[in-house]
Amino acid sequence: MRLTRYFLPVLKENPAEAKIVSHRLMLRAGMIKQASAGIYSWLPMGLKVMQRIERIVHEEQARAGHLPVLMPTLQSADLWRESGRYDDYGEEMLRMQDRHGRDMLYTPTAEELITDIFRAHVSSYKDLPLTLYQIQWKFRDEIRPRFGVMRGREFYMKDGYNFDVDYEHALHAYNRHMVSYLRSYERMGLQAIPMRADSGPIGGEDTHEFLVLAETGESEVFYDSAITGLTLGDRDIDYTNWDQCALIAREWTEPYARTDETHDEALFNQVPEARRKVSRGIEVGQIFYFGTKYSDAMGASVVNDKGEQVPVHMGSHGIGVSRLLGAIIEASHDDNGIVWPEGVTPFHCGIVNLRQGDAGTDRVCEDLYAAMTAAGLEPLYDDREERAGAKFATMDLIGLPWRITVGPRGVKNGVVELTCRRTGESEELKPEMALARVKEIYSSV
Ligand code: ATP
Ligand code: MG
């Protein structure tokens, strides 16, 4: 993409309404525009990052054997009356009527709808295990929408639902989701810590929230610092292997890690003092096992291998896709702007032409642009007639992890400069070497 052809409405001033850094930077970098309280339009660069996040989620769900579906945002109230949640959900549910006076609602989550799909089409244990998920807009009429996309009213969420014949299978589904979530966050350059949680209005027996540590997080968190050393790295994961998934889940849930809602001071005090940490965190996902709550209420059952009719065991699992943009920025920025992790960056590399219109620098930039594109990467070429300082400030603000700077002096010596956004370190290289380095960096992302 050439910057002169892009729509990147950056703001020079800090928007007064933004109280936290991620909200401020998303507005300044022209990623979102507020439409009304807690509701945003996604501008090209904001949408691009969201799509990268979405893709990681889809890929990891596919690896785990989960199947994508898409359910409507507008639902009839009838199903919610069956489960009893139409009345229970309260003020956060946006309710409306169609022209015939029928009660409708904008989906805050979709347990009812998915259970209805299940009971219409599945009747035997032979069709299990089954996990269906979607990435779809949700609406919750939050009393205090704030912090930009972090606590919106309309937000984009992955919600998945597993159906299993008994507790043991459902437990594996729980562990499998935990591993797939850990892997997804890791690919986004994030550490999200699973913390034992309350189940809240969804109602559950076992549940973990995933929290990203950040000063601006809404939850107070208490954890054993041993957990921050854990990574999956390039561990080979077989999602059909019950033992492996259980082992990883145990590894990640053994160290103490809880939010203020479930914090247990006595247990926490058993952690060696030097490892006891109190901090704040942003919830970027949650997994639930809730047994037969919805299947009992809505009559979703299967025939098991003994020929008995049994209610199906279920769980539901969510990732805050739009909130993740805020969480990633909270975890990865500096005074000059965003620092995107390679896994989610909107463009792989910036190309800055220090003297637009100079035959030499223009040619090197165009060659790099073409070669990078041919290699399957997406560069953002700053081809504006602007001062170097302004070009660097824009690149720093929008946070591309790598930048190649092309100036007349370098071109004369046959070199360009490759700069890492995170460390600020630069290196002079031949253009083809700079390109090879960028290709190599992304080959493992
Ligand atoms: P919270 O406690 O933050 O209100 P929740 O526990 O009610 O969230 P879940 O039902 O677990 O939310 O939804 C799954 C994920 O969706 C959450 O982990 C969070 O990342 C995201 N999410 C929930 N509410 C919002 C919101 N108002 N704006 C943006 N993302 C949200
Ligand atoms: Mg939650």
CA dist 101 and 105 (Å) reads 12
| Confidence class for position 413, pLDDT limits 50, 70, 90 | very high
Q: Tokens at residue 238, please?
A: 């077989």
Q: Tokens at residue 78, please?
A: 């009838």
Backbone angles phi, psi at 325, to 5 degrees: -60, -45
Evaluate if residue 202 carries a pLDDT over 60: no
pTM of the model: 0.96
CB-based contact 345:338 (threshold 8 Å): no
Backbone angles phi, psi at 263, to 5 degrees: -55, 140
Q: Tokens at residue 153, please?
A: 């009213």
CATH fold match for the domains 3-338 and 349-443: no
- Give residue 199's pLDDT: 63
CA 436 to centroid of ligand 2, rounded, Å: 42
CB-based contact 322:155 (threshold 8 Å): yes
- Give residue 389's pLDDT: 97
Which ligand ends up closest to the CA of 316? 1
CA 294 to centroid of ligand 2, rounded, Å: 18
Model confidence over 291-342: pLDDT tens digits?
998 999 999 999 999 999 999 999 999 999 999 999 999 999 999 999 999 9
- Give residue 324's pLDDT: 98
The CATH architecture of the domain made up of 349-443 is 3-Layer(aba) Sandwich (3.40)
Query: Domain segments of the chain: what residues?
Result: 3-338, 349-443
CA 266 to centroid of ligand 2, rounded, Å: 25
CA 426 to centroid of ligand 2, rounded, Å: 42
Question: Ligand 1 pocket test: which of 141, 177, 286, 322 has the largest number of ligand atoms within 8 Å of its C-beta?
Answer: 286
CA dist 249 and 237 (Å) reads 12
Model confidence over 236-272: pLDDT tens digits?
999 999 999 999 999 999 999 999 999 999 999 999 9
CA dist 23 and 28 (Å) reads 9
- DSSP code string of 351-399: EEETTTT-HHHHHHHHHHHHHHHHTT--EEEE-SS--HHHHHHHHHHHT
Average pLDDT over residues 110-132: 97
| Beta carbon of 318 within 6 Å of any ligand 1 atom | yes
- Give residue 197's pLDDT: 87
CATH superfamily of 3-338: Bira Bifunctional Protein; Domain 2 (3.30.930.10)
| Beta carbon of 326 within 6 Å of any ligand 1 atom | no
- Give residue 198's pLDDT: 74
CA dist 244 and 237 (Å) reads 8
Evaluate if residue 203 carries a pLDDT over 80: no
| Beta carbon of 52 within 6 Å of any ligand 1 atom | no
Minimal CA–CA distance to 37: which of 140, 108, 159, 157? 140
